A and B are shown apart, each in its own frame.
Chain A
Amino acid sequence: MDFMVFQYPMISIQACLDGILLGILFALIAYGMALQWGVMNIINIAQGDLVILGGYIAYFMYLYGIHPAWGVIVSPFIMYFVGVGLYKLVINKVVDRDLFISILATFGISILFMQLMNFAFGADVVLANSGYGTTFLFDSNVVLPNSKIFSAFVSIVFAICLVIYMKKSKLGRAIRATAQNARAAKILGVDTEKVYAATFGINAALCGVAGALISITFTIHPYMGLPYTIRSFMIVIVAGLGNLPGVALSGMGLGVFEEFADYILGTEFRIGSVFLLLVLILVYRRFKLSKKREYLK
C-alpha cells in the first residue's frame, strides 16, 4: 500500500490525465463491443485479441520503416476483412444460439488467436516507437507523452465518424434496424446476414484502430488480450447498450480507476483489480436490481 498519491497532488493529476487518455481508448473498444452485442447479441471474448492483432499490424509497419501512425489507417482495413472472415467461418453459426455458446466459441477463438500470434510474432513485449516526444505540464511535474494525446484524439475522431456513419448511411440504418428487431428488418428487405457480417467487421476494424493506437502508446504482447475484453465488457454493462456518452464516461472512469490502483496497490495487482472491479460491479448491480425483484438481463 502506498498512499503517496494523496500526499502529492501532482501525482493525482498525472494519474487522472493518464487515466482519461487511456480510458478514451477503452471506450473505443467498448463501443465495438456494444455494437456487436446490441446487434448480434453476442459477447465476443476474442475482442481483446482482435485489438492485439491490430496492434501487431501497426508494429510491423513500424518494423518495415513506415511510421506506425499510418497503422491507424491500414490496420482497420485489414481487420475489417479479418472480422468478416471470422464471421463467415464461426460467428454466423452461433448468432442465434444461446449466449453461453457464443461466449465459449469466442473463448476458443481467443485461445487460437493468442497462440497463433505467439507463433507469428514471438512472446516478447513490443511497442512501436512513434517519436512524438512528450509534453511537460505544471513545471514539468506532470509528464504526458504526446503519443497518448494523439491516440485519444484519433479515438475521438473515429468514434465521431462512426456515429455519423451509423446515423446517416444506408448500412448504418440497416444495422440499427436489425438491432431493434432482426425479424422485422428481414421482412422489410434487409439482408440481415450481410448486416451481421458488416457489424462484426466494423467491430474488428474499431479493434484494429484501438490496437494500432495501443501499440504506439503502450506495449503489446500476444497474451494481453483478455483484460481488454473484460474492460470493454465492464464499460458496456456500466453504461448500458446504446448509451454512447455513458460508454465514453465509464471508459474514462475505468482508466482513472486503473491508474490509481496502479499507484496505490502496485503494478502487480493492476490487472487483478480490474477483474475484481468487474465482479464488484456485477454484484452491486445484482443487489440493486434484486430490490425490485429483477435481475440483469
Chain B
Amino acid sequence: MNKNIILYAGILIFGIAAPFIFPAFKVQLSILCVLIVLATTWNIQGGEMGYNSFGNILFYGLGMYLCASVQVGMFFPLAEWTESGGEKTFVHTPAQFFQGMAAGLFVAAIVPTIVAGLIGYSILGLRGHYFAICTLGLGVAAGEISGGIEIIGAGQGFTTPPFPDFGGLEARGEFFYFLSFFVLVFTFIAVRMIYSTRFKLILNAIRDNEDKAEAMGIQTMKYKIIGWMISAFFCGLAGGIMGGLVGYIDSTDVAFDGREMGVFMVLMAILGGKGTLWGPIIGATIFHIFKEGFWTFFLGWQYVALGVLIVVIVIYFPEGIMGWLREKYPERFGEVIDEADRKAQVELK
C-alpha cells in the first residue's frame, strides 16, 4: 500500500510538471491524456463487461459537437457561426470562453450518458459479434448523418472558438493540458473506485457467463446499461476536450472517426491488456508513442502501418502486455501458485 502511494504521487507530480519539462509536446501530452481516458473507459464495457463495442466513438463525437455548439450557442447565433466558417466574425471574451467551455463540457458529459441509457436497453440485448457490428453501424451512421446537418457545419466542418488572447500570453497549451490531465485523474480515481466495488464483480460475471449471472439473480440488463453509461460519460467528456484541442470538427474525419479513434480505443485497451486497470493506460501510452513515430516518419503510410499493427496485435498479443506479464509473474498479481504444481508444469515443458 505504501509503495502504491509513492507511485501515485510520483505519477501525479510528473503529470503536473510534464508540460514544463517538455514544452514542445504540450499538445501531444494532452492528446495522450484523452487517449488514456478513452482506452480506460472503453475497457469498462469492453474488457470488464465483455461487450466489445466499436461504437463508443458515437459518444465521443457527440460530446465533441455538443461542447463546441454550447460554447458558441451560449453567446452567438450558431448557424451564422458555422456559416462563416474559419472567418472570425465573432470573438469570445476570456470570460465567455471559459464559461462556455465549462457549460459545454457539462452538456458533453451528460447528454451522451442519457443517450447511452436510452439506446442501451435495445442494443445491449445483442451479444458478441452482433453487438460489435451493431455499434460499428451506429458510429458510422452518426458520422454520415451529422455530415448532412447544416447547423453544425455539415460537410465543411465546424471551427471551435479560438482560445482567447490574454495580451500576448500563450496559455492555450497549458490550459488544455491541465484540463485533460484533470479529467484523466478524475477518470482514474472514478474507475479505480468502481473497480473496488461489487459492481466490477457483476460486470465480470456478465462477461464470463451472462446466463448464469442472470440465473444467480443479477439484473444483468440494468448493470450493462449502467456500465455503458459510465463509459459514455467519460467518452463525451474526452470528446469535448478533444474538440477544443483540435480546434476544428469534421463529421467523419474528426468527430465520428471510426477508422481512427474508434479503432484506437479498442486497440489501446487490447494492447495493454483487456480487463485490467493499468493495461489500457500502458497500452495507450505505448500506442501513442508508436503512432506519433509512424505519423511523423512514415507520412502517408500511417494507415498501412496501422492496419498491420492491428493485425499483429490482435493475432499475436490478444492478451496484451498485462496479460503477458501476468503469465510471466503471477505472484505479482496476487495469484498464489502451488509450488508442487509449478514444478510439475516445468517438468512437463
Interface residues of A (CB under 8 A from B): 43, 90, 93-94, 97, 99-101, 103-105, 107-116, 118-119, 226, 230, 233, 237, 266, 268-269, 271-273, 275-276, 278-279, 282-283, 286-287, 290, 295-297
Contact = CB atoms under 8 A, between A and B. Distances in A.
Given A43-B133, A230-B140, A268-B147, A286 B306 contact: no
Contacts of B266: 104
Given A105-B314, A115-B304, A279-B134, A295 B125 contact: yes
A109 B140 CA distance: 18
B216 interface: no
A290 B125 contact: yes
B310 A108 contact: yes
A105 B132 contact: no
B141 A111 contact: no
Nearest to A269: B148
Contacts of A279: 123, 134, 137-138, 141
B127 interface: yes
Given A105-B315, A112-B308, A268-B147, A287 B122 contact: yes
B133 A108 contact: no
A223 B265 CA distance: 21
Contacts of A290: 125
Contacts of A107: 263, 310
B128 interface: yes
A86 to B, nearest CB: 11
Contact of B133 (A93, A103, A112, A266): A103
Interface of B: 52, 122-123, 125-130, 132-134, 136-138, 140-141, 143-145, 147-148, 155, 259, 263, 266-267, 270, 300-301, 303-304, 306-311, 314-315, 318
A101 B314 contact: yes
Nearest to A271: B144
B307 A112 contact: yes
Given A226-B140, A278-B134, A279-B138, A116 B148 contact: no
The 9 closest A-B pairs by CB, nearest first: A112-B307, A108-B310, A272-B144, A275-B141, A115-B303, A111-B307, A268-B148, A108-B311, A278-B137
A94 B315 contact: yes
Contacts of B122: 283, 286-287
B306 A100 contact: no
Given A107-B263, A230-B140, A272-B145, A282 B315 contact: no
A111 B138 contact: no
Contacts of B137: 230, 275-276, 278-279, 282
Given A103-B129, A278-B133, A286-B122, A90 B148 contact: no
A111 B259 contact: yes
Given A94-B315, A278-B134, A282-B134, A108 B307 contact: yes
Contact of B127 (A104, A112, A268, A296): A296
A232 to B, nearest CB: 11
11 contacts: A43-B129, A90-B311, A101-B318, A111-B303, A113-B307, A115-B307, A230-B133, A271-B144, A276-B137, A286-B126, A287-B125
B307 A109 contact: yes
B303 A112 contact: yes
Contacts of B263: 107, 111
B307 A266 contact: no
A283 B324 CA distance: 37
A111 B123 contact: no
A113 B310 CA distance: 13
Nearest to B304: A115
A286 B143 CA distance: 24
A108 B309 contact: yes
B304 A112 contact: yes
B311 A112 contact: yes
A295 to B, nearest CB: 5
B129 A100 contact: yes
Contacts of A105: 310-311, 314-315
A48 to B, nearest CB: 12
B188 to A, nearest CB: 26
B256 to A, nearest CB: 10
Contacts of B129: 43, 99-100, 103
Given A269-B148, A279-B141, A283-B122, A104 B310 contact: yes
Given A115-B303, A230-B140, A233-B133, A286 B314 contact: no
B132 A100 contact: yes
Contacts of A278: 133-134, 137, 141
Given A101-B318, A272-B148, A275-B144, A282 B130 contact: yes
A228 to B, nearest CB: 13
Contacts of A282: 123, 126, 130, 133-134, 137
A109 to B, nearest CB: 6
Counting chain A CB atoms within 10 Å of each CB, which of B130, B138, B263, B300 scores highest? B130
A103 B267 CA distance: 12
A290 B301 CA distance: 46
A278 B137 CA distance: 7
A95 to B, nearest CB: 11
B343 to A, nearest CB: 31
Contacts of A111: 259, 263, 303, 306-307, 310
B314 A108 contact: yes
Nearest to A272: B144
A287 B121 CA distance: 10
Contacts of A296: 126-127, 130
A123 B141 CA distance: 22
